């Protein structure tokens, strides 16, 4: 049986390969793992469950709740809420487990389940493996008073607490800034605009349909052209685009130019260094971050610690080495002083705060980084190991020819039969030529 957990929980087509039966089993297995770790002398544990707006979220929410309740865990349903709000809820005393039902930036038919341990961090690989191993185990079901109870009364209070937490992290108000917020028809549709308004910004909201049928569809962080159009139409200072579960943020400046996660990370890193908040003058980023980002950081005396692709690996490096800021080109940014996971609304708030405290527009702040043209080609292969062996020497030679003016990164997909070939070069034409030449060697 292939491993269920990927880099960000369990995902699949809702009611297809991700069935309510599997969701119930996963929740029950997570409950068994939790109960075993806690022992039997500390009362009944409490789990919080959130979801994005996908219609299938209601189905999977019911199944997850049933699995937890049937295993003797109390459940609090948070309803539609961002992934980082679930992570924040698990930092509260008395909350032992968080479950988020979302497929993030994936299309509407997909859905997913991810777990957060007490303290707000995603489960380690070994704990996910133990949960998988428990899926088929037999267990004694509690009866009577041993069955879990459902508590929903505190959901609104937790939502308000999360917004208060976001606002309290800011060094300044956002008064005087006009921002367009693209909620991706997802989990940020209510909390996102509420947080930006509470911080003092004038907010124009687009794509806040909470029916879930159009989540991520032509909008949000994966389609920032939508917020770019809205910013120009509204004459706004800036636009912010989130994804379906609001753990990403991509921005656009007043002219509609896209400012991605690398550029946002660069702006925040420089601000944190100026305030003496950037531990070790180091920022954590993945190997996919643009070479222009690394050059910009070097010019400002900031080191870049590389990780594998995936925000969980960014966070792992941050926690291991004590770094406070990290992120991905896709818009996952982790501000570890204020969050335990990527938080799109928190990122947007701090980007706006940097504009407010410097008095500079986003285009001027983002000019700190000169982006190199980047071309990514996905090559479908029958044997990833053989393809990687074929490309090893070729990619090394291509990288040597580019020298300090570019780079080549070839890596296998972790979930699909693909080899990903990424090339950065002084011109897009040069980058595309090198990428297509490498792809042709194994296609």
CA–CA dist 30, 49 (Å, integer):
13
| 119, two tokens | 């303290």
Is the separation of the CB atoms in 72 and 146 below 8 Å? Answer: yes
For 336, other C-beta atoms within 10 Å of its C-beta total 18
Catalytically active residues are: 104
Give the C-alpha distances (Å, rounded to integers) separating 72 from 76, 251, 254, 349: 13, 44, 52, 39
Show the tokens assigned to 321: 């080495």
Per-residue 3-state assignment (H helix, E strand, C coil) for 81-136: CCHHHHHHHCCCCCCCEEEEECCCCCCCCEEEEEEEECCCCECCHHHHHHHHHCCC
Q: Please spell the DSSP secondary structure of 261-281, one letter per residue.
A: HHHHHHHHHHHHHHTT-SGGG
Are 88 and 121 in contact by the 8 Å Cβ rule? The answer is no
Strands (E), 200-289: 202-206, 238-241, 250-252, 258-259, 282-286
CA-based torsion, 225, 226, 227, 232: positive or negative? positive
Question: What 8-state DSSP symbol labels residue 6?
Answer: B
Pairwise CA distance, residues 338 & 326, whole Å: 12
Whether the Cβ atoms of residue 342 and residue 334 lie closer than 8 Å to each other: yes
**Mapping DSSP to helix (H, G, I), strand (E, B) and coil, where does residue 293 land?**
helix
């Amino acid at each position: 049986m292939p491993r269920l957990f990927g880099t960000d929980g369990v995902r699949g087509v809702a009611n297809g390969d991700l069935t309510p039966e599997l969701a119930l089993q996963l929740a029950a297995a997570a409950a068994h793992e939790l109960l075993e770790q806690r022992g039997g002398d500390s009362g009944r544990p409490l789990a919080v469950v959130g979801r994005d707006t996908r219609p299938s979220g209601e189905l999977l929410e019911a199944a997850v709740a049933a699995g937890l309740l049937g295993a003797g865990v109390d459940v609090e349903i948070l309803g539609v809420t961002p992934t980082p709000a679930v992570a924040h809820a698990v930092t509260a005393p008395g909350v032992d487990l968080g479950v988020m039902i979302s497929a993030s930036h994936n299309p509407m038919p997909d859905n997913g389940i991810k777990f957060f341990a007490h303290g707000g961090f995603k489960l380690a690989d070994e704990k996910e493996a133990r949960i998988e191993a428990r899926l088929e185990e037999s267990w004694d079901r509690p009866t009577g008073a041993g069955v879990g109870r459902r508590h929903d009364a505190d959901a609104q209070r937790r939502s308000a607490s999360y917004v208060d937490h976001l606002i309290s992290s800011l060094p300044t108000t956002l008064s005087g800034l006009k921002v367009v917020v693209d909620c991706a028809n997802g989990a940020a549709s209510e909390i996102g605009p509420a947080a930006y308004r509470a911080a003092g910004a004038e907010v124009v909201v687009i794509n806040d349909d909470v029916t879930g049928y159009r989540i991520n569809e032509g909008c949000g962080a994966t389609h920032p052209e939508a917020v770019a159009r809205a910013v120009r139409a509204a004459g706004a200072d800036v636009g912010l685009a989130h994804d379906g579960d609001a753990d990403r943020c991509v921005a656009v400046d007043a002219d509609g130019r896209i400012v991605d996660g690398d550029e946002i990370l660069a702006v925040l890193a420089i601000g944190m260094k100026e305030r003496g908040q950037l531990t070790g003058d180091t920022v954590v980023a993945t190997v996919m971050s643009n070479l222009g980002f690394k050059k910009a950081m070097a010019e400002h005396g900031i080191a870049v610690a590389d990780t594998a692709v995936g925000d969980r690996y960014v966070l792992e490096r941050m926690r291991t080495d004590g770094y406070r800021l990290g992120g991905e080109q896709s818009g996952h940014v982790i501000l570890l002083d204020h969050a335990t996971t990527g938080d799109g609304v928190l990122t947007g708030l701090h980007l706006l705060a940097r504009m407010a405290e410097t008095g500079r527009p986003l285009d001027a702040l983002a000019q700190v980084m000169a982006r190199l043209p980047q071309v990514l080609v996905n090559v479908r292969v029958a044997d990833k190991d053989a393809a990687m062996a074929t490309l090893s020497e070729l990619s090394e030679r291509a990288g040597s020819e580019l020298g300090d003016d570019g780079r080549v990164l070839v890596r296998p997909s972790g979930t699909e039969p693909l080899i990903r070939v990424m090339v950065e070069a002084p011109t897009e034409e040069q980058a595309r030529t090198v990428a297509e030449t490498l792809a042709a060697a194994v296609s």
